[in-house]
Amino acid sequence: MGAKYVLMFEDEIFLSSINKAKWNIYTVALQDLSFYSISYLKENYNLHDISKAREIYLNILDDEKKNNIPNEVYKKASSDFDDRNKNIDWENYYKSLPFNTSALALYEYSPIAEELKTLDRKIVLNSMILKWDNIQKEFKELTLLLKSAGIEFTINQRLVRGLDYYNQTVYEWKTDELGAQDTVCGGGRYDNLVEELGGKSCPATGFSIGMERLILLMKETLELNVGNKNVDIFFVCLSKESIQKAIMYSESLREKVSELGIRINMGLEGAGSQFKKADKSGAMFAFILGDDELKNNTISMKDLRSKSDQETLSYKDLEKRIKETYK
């Protein structure tokens, strides 16, 4: 950092502007959160008293007086809240981009040159819209995958995990067999965690399991047959649609032959690369799902061990072949 920038942090006027910026940004973010919360509760839980938004907001502002919120910021925040409150579309606010104003406040109140603010405002607004659209698209794709696999789920927009490194989707696996301690497994995405710990940027997802609860659940409900741990079938998927189909087929096959080891490749690499992975996995069969297979509702099957010719079968015939092979 250059010497002139160090000196800036010893300047009382500059430090005062930083403090005001902090409080202004905080009060705007609090407005967004108040509007979002009441909008969501109104539409999903029949909350009728929307005046609660103003009541909650002003109560929190009053509490901040003990933390020395500047009086001019307090007055401006109260006035701005009332102005925004008059124009809120309560039915749709939580569905839109509810925290846009918070992000833009970072640039409106930060002590930087006005010409830079003009440029940054456009960048931030566009990036937020793009980010939000991508999140919605990815979440929709995830729900389609779950439906394809026949996995029942409930979307809980109030679900919060206890660690702050999660981003986008979090989830819990619950049971009705263990009373109040019903969460057996929980996790989510943490795309930024590896980088925060000093590694390279690496998208990630994971979960933790309560071992004691899992053992209790197994005792209550399951007769386990561990079966073969090897890979028997390797799905070669050439599109996102084929991944969905592969998940559906694999779940159906496991219901018929419980000990099957099935691996679905989700990397969408070229067919050659996927066949190498299939061979390396030790799988007996490669099931190929490309555009033609999806169009004709078929599966191409290749025996990786006998090196026989590839066959194209209906799912019903394929299921019969697998049952005969692994009976």
Q: In what side-by-side order are the strands of the sheet with 183-189?
A: 170-174, 183-189, 205-209
Phi-psi region of 151 (alpha: psi -120 to 50; beta: other; left: phi over 0): beta
Task: Provide the H-helix boundaries in 188-281.
Answer: 193-196, 211-221, 240-256, 271-281
Residue 21's pLDDT is 84
Which domains are present in the chain?
A: 3-131 (no CATH), 170-221 (no CATH), 233-325 (3.40.50.800)
Residue 76's pLDDT is 92
What is the pTM (predicted TM-score) of this model? 0.47
Handedness of CA 93, 94, 95, 100 (dihedral sign): positive
Residue 114's pLDDT is 53
Note the pLDDT tens digit of each residue in 246-299.
999 998 898 888 888 899 988 888 989 999 999 888 899 999 999 999 999 999
Q: What's the chain's average pLDDT?
A: 82
Residues of the chain with pLDDT under 70: 1-15, 110-132, 222-229
DSSP 139: H
Residue 128's pLDDT is 59
Instruction: List, in sequence order, every beta strand (DSSP E) within the chain.
Output: 170-174, 183-189, 205-209, 233-237, 262-264, 285-289, 298-303, 311-314
Whose tokens are 């297979």? That residue is 293
Amino acid at 326: Y
Residue 290's pLDDT is 92
